[in-house]
């Protein structure tokens, strides 16, 4: 065990504009980020595992109605909440993911149960819900996930779609961490795109696209246009540049964000490498984010 540890979290990059932010709203978001960071940091400071740290931070963000995951998730086209989540252990490359689950309080716990209690990596829809129920994951009624803000947003998106205007509203939460044992982990959880149809699944639960961790390189959690993040295999793209080309995390992030931009993907990501370096790039107006490490002070930021 050594002294080095690091953690970064995000609360999405989708629905941010400076005009919407009064000082008090900004304060609410910053407090929520601070609390979620502390949940994971506490685990790491006490010598705990990065997997537990990323899960703890993501649970705090899922439980907070401000973010698009768990309570506060966006509405899908049927007026429900359909959620995706993934978690990955960088020391074993074990991973667990779920897509299109409804009615479970903390989708990230379901993803972790898939990783640790099944022989599968990725479960979806009704089957994933059956699995979650069998494994005692906490359930919640539909009104638990309801927020007025998301409801109004859904209605606006529906109106625009009737006029054939595509307006993307999204958001996601995620965490990456390095623990004192040198193990990296990543976790991501989302309600996906507002008014999504046809069982649409974004990048968040797709291992290598929205979530990835490998002790030889880094841990990454993404947020943004899920389709483009899948096309760019974003999280794995960063890992490969570290592992195969020995690039720094910073350079790898620059290249990957350029690639993403070239296919019109907007959003951002958080990443931590095996040396505890942290990067949090984005090409949107802002990204809810926070980080801390054993050798750097806590940062909580929304805009540039
Ligand atoms: N990437 C997520 C998705 O496409 C949304 C987001 O991160 O904002 O489902």
Distance, CA of 162 to CA of 90 (rounded, Å): 44
Judge whether 183 counts as a catalytic residue: no
Whether residue 1 is contained in a domain is answered as no
257 CA → ligand 1 middle, Å: 16
Sole residue written with tokens 């890992």:
239
Q: Enter the tokens of residue 150.
A: 């998301």
Whether residue 115 is contained in a domain is answered as yes
Check pocket membership of 205 for ligand 1, CB cut-off 6 A.
no
Q: What is the pTM of this model?
A: 0.97
In the three-class reduction of DSSP (H, G, I as helix; E, B as strand; rest coil), residue 209 is classed as: coil
Residues 6 or more apart whose Cβ sits within 8 Å of residue 79? 154
H/E segment holding residue 128 = helix 125-134
Find the CATH number of the domain harbouring 126: 3.60.20.30
Distance, CA of 150 to CA of 5 (rounded, Å): 36
Whether residue 270 is contained in a domain is answered as yes
Which position has the higher pLDDT, 258 or 18?
A: 258
- Closest residue by Cα to atom 7, ligand 1, is 223
- How many CB atoms lie under 10 A from the CB of residue 111? 35
43 CA → ligand 1 middle, Å: 27
Whether residue 192 is contained in a domain is answered as yes
Distance, CA of 214 to CA of 183 (rounded, Å): 8
Quick one: pLDDT at residue 14?
Answer: 66
User: Does 17 score more than 80 pLDDT?
Assistant: no
Q: How confident is the model at residue 15 (pLDDT cuts 50, 70, 90)?
A: low
User: Does 16 score more than 80 pLDDT?
Assistant: no
Residue 188 sits at the vertex; the CA angle it makes with 186 and 190, to the nearest 5 degrees, is 180
Check pocket membership of 190 for ligand 1, CB cut-off 6 A.
yes
In terms of residues, how long is the chain?
304
pLDDT digits (tens, 9 = 90+) for 233-273: 999 999 999 999 999 999 999 999 999 999 999 999 999 99
Check pocket membership of 12 for ligand 1, CB cut-off 6 A.
yes
Check pocket membership of 16 for ligand 1, CB cut-off 6 A.
no
Quick one: pLDDT at residue 304?
Answer: 82
Whether residue 57 is contained in a domain is answered as yes
- Closest residue by Cα to atom 4, ligand 1, is 226
Whether residue 33 is contained in a domain is answered as yes
Distance, CA of 132 to CA of 298 (rounded, Å): 35
Please state, rounded to an integer, the average pLDDT across all residues of the chain: 96
In the three-class reduction of DSSP (H, G, I as helix; E, B as strand; rest coil), residue 207 is classed as: strand
Average pLDDT over residues 80-85: 97
- Choosing from 15, 172, 194, 211, the catalytic residue is 172
Looking at the 3D structure of the chain, how many domains does it have? 1
Half-sphere exposure of residue 50: CA atoms within 13 angstroms, side-chain side: 37
Whether residue 276 is contained in a domain is answered as yes
Domain containing 129 equals 6-301
Contact between 214 and 232 (Cβ < 8 Å): no
Distance, CA of 302 to CA of 81 (rounded, Å): 25
Contact between 284 and 267 (Cβ < 8 Å): yes
222 CA → ligand 1 middle, Å: 8
Whether residue 187 is contained in a domain is answered as yes
Check pocket membership of 203 for ligand 1, CB cut-off 6 A.
yes
H/E segment holding residue 9 = strand 6-10
């Amino acid at each position: 065990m050594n002294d080095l540890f690091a953690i970064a979290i995000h609360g999405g990059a989708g629905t941010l504009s400076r005009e919407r932010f009064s000082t008090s709203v900004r304060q609410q978001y910053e407090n929520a980020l601070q609390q979620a960071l502390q949940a994971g940091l506490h685990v790491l400071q006490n010598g705990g595992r990065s997997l537990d740290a990323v899960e703890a931070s993501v649970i705090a963000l899922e439980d907070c109605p401000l973010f698009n995951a768990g309570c506060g998730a966006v509405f899908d086209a049927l007026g429900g909440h359909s959620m995706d989540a993934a978690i990955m252990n960088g020391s074993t490359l074990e991973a667990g993911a779920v897509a299109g689950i409804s009615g479970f309080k903390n989708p990230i716990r379901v993803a972790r149960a898939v990783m640790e209690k099944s022989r599968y990596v990725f479960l979806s829809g009704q089957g994933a819900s059956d699995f979650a129920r069998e494994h005692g994951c906490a359930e919640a009624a539909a009104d638990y996930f309801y927020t007025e803000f998301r409801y109004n947003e859904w209605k606006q998106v529906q109106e625009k779609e009737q006029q054939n205007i595509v307006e993307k509203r999204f958001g996601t939460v995620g965490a990456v961490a390095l623990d004192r044992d040198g193990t990296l982990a990543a976790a991501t959880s989302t309600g996906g795109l507002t008014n999504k149809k046809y069982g649409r699944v974004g990048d968040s639960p797709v291992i290598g696209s929205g979530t990835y961790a490998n002790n030889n390189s880094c841990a990454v959690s993404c947020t943004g246009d899920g389709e483009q993040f899948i096309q760019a295999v974003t999280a794995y793209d960063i890992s490969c540049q570290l592992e195969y080309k020995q690039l720094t995390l910073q350079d790898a992030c620059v290249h990957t964000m350029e690639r993403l931009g070239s296919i019109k993907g907007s959003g951002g990501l958080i990443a931590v490498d095996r040396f505890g370096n942290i990067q949090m790039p984005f090409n949107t107006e802002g990204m809810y984010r926070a980080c801390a490490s054993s050798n750097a002070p806590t940062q909580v930021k929304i805009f540039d």
